[in-house]
Amino acid sequence: MTPRVSKTTGFSLVEVTLALGVAAVCLLVLLGLLPMGTKTQQNSIQQTTANQIISQISSFLRADVRLPPGQLSKACPDPPDPNDPCQWDNLHGHWAGVATPDTLYFTNGAKQIGQINQSPPPADAVFRATITYKAPPSETTSLATIRVTWHAAVDPDSGGVPAGSVKAEIAVNR
């Protein structure tokens, strides 16, 4: 009887080379997608922060009550009594008399910095919020457009192209 010769099984050099080539191509594709994924994530974070800024500005405008034309007499006595001040005197109502847009600046954490319409923007400003006030369409509603752009140093109203922007139309004093 002859002894059995066992045959060793395995991969040939050609098969190993092809498998390594396919794996290398897949890794290169994945590494090529990494910068795009990072850029998309950063843009998503900036859009989220811009939406937080819009929400913050919207709530500030809605809290700052402005009475529509003809309604002031309903809040204040007629004729005005010096001993009984008008209950709306403590509200600054800045936006009620503003015909030009206001510009505010915010940090990466959505914290307002600087002054209204400050020029140039603060050094640590990342977002620029422009609030454009519109004439009220009715006696009870006032409209405003809020546009938040980033980077704050770029002024889109002067022809600059921002990295991104978010825009919202809000109704206040309903």
For the chain of 174 residues, list the mean pLDDT of each consecutive stretch of 10. 73 93 95 91 91 89 63 54 50 53 88 85 91 68 85 84 90 68
Task: Give the Cα separation of 50 and 129 in Å (integer).
Answer: 9
What's the helix, strand, coil split of the chain in %, to 5? 35, 20, 45
**pLDDT computed for residue 31 by the predictor:** 92
pLDDT for 24 equals 96
Number of structural domains in the chain: 1
Asked if the structure places residue 121 within a domain, the reply is yes
In the block, tokens 């978010």 appear at: 166
Q: How far is CA 114 from the centre of its chain?
A: 18
Residue 23's domain comprises 14-65+93-172
pLDDT at 48: 93
**75 within some domain:** no
Residue 77 lies inside a defined structural domain of this protein: no
Phi–psi pair at 70, nearest 5 degrees: 85, -5
Does residue 52 lie in a domain region? yes
Any domain includes 102:
yes
Q: What is the pLDDT of residue 70?
A: 56
CB 98 within 8 A of CB 142: no
Helix (H, G, I), strand (E, B) or coil at 150: strand
What's the pLDDT at 92?
43
Tracing tokens 């590494």 back to the chain, one arrives at: 31
Specify if 74 maps to a domain. Answer: no
Query: Order of strands, edge to edge, in the sheet holding 112-113?
Result: 112-113, 102-106, 127-134, 142-150, 164-172
Both tokens assigned to 111: 């914290």
Q: What does the pLDDT read at residue 114?
A: 84
| Inside any domain, residue 55 | yes
- Residue 37 in any domain: the answer is yes
